[in-house]
């Protein structure tokens, strides 16, 4: 069926927020001054950038940065909470090397992004690491370009569409009941 107006407005707002976060990540790469890698994206490498990284660490979105070899350069607290995987387990490694993360297929999205396209994945079911509650996550991978316009890595933004999924289920249940 057609989503209700409040649900449609919420979805549009979430899409705008996601696009803004993706844009900030891509543009942050240019501001670091780093030439050949994503090493400039680490906290403290550029004045003012450590503050941005601190904000991303606390964001209600997952933020993952991969270098050109698809090794993890950044993993925020949202990702730890949603996947139960700590930054120490993934930093410097490929995500497909971790059994839990391999099942989420982030590496497949990242490979497409390395080819120069922005790509959105499907909803993936996960369990909240603390409560065990069923949740969904959705990833959007975007190429990160260097100053010359070449792809130097990948930024992945992950959001939690669980409230939308629950609202859809409630709307469906209400429609079936009437």
Distance CA 144, CA 142 (A): 6
Structure tokens at 33: 């001054």
pTM exceeds 0.85 for this model: no
Distance CA 80, CA 53 (A): 15
The whole-number average pLDDT for the span 149-156 is 94
- pLDDT exceeds 70 at position 59: no
pLDDT band at 58, cuts 50/70/90? Answer: low
- pLDDT exceeds 90 at position 119: yes
Per DSSP, helices labelled H in the chain are 5-31, 49-57, 77-83, 87-90, 99-102, 106-114, 162-177
Arithmetic mean of pLDDT over the chain: 77
pLDDT band at 30, cuts 50/70/90? Answer: very low
- pLDDT exceeds 50 at position 66: yes
């Amino acid at each position: 069926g057609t989503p209700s107006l409040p649900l449609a407005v919420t979805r549009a707002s979430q899409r705008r927020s996601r696009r803004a976060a993706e844009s900030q990540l891509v543009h942050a790469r240019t501001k670091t001054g780093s030439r050949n890698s994503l090493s400039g994206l680490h906290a403290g490498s550029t004045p003012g950038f450590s503050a941005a990284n601190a904000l991303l660490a606390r964001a209600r979105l997952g933020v993952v940065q991969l270098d050109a070899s698809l090794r993890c350069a950044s993993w925020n607290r949202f990702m730890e909470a949603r996947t139960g995987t700590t930054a120490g387990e993934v930093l410097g490694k490929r995500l497909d090397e971790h059994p839990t993360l391999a099942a989420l297929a982030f590496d497949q999205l990242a490979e497409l992004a390395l080819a120069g396209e922005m790509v959105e994945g499907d909803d993936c079911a996960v369990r909240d690491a603390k409560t065990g509650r069923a949740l969904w996550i959705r990833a959007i991978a975007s190429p990160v370009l260097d100053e010359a316009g070449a792809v130097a890595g990948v930024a992945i933004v992950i959001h939690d569409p669980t409230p939308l999924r629950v609202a859809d289920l409630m709307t469906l249940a209400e429609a079936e009941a009437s």
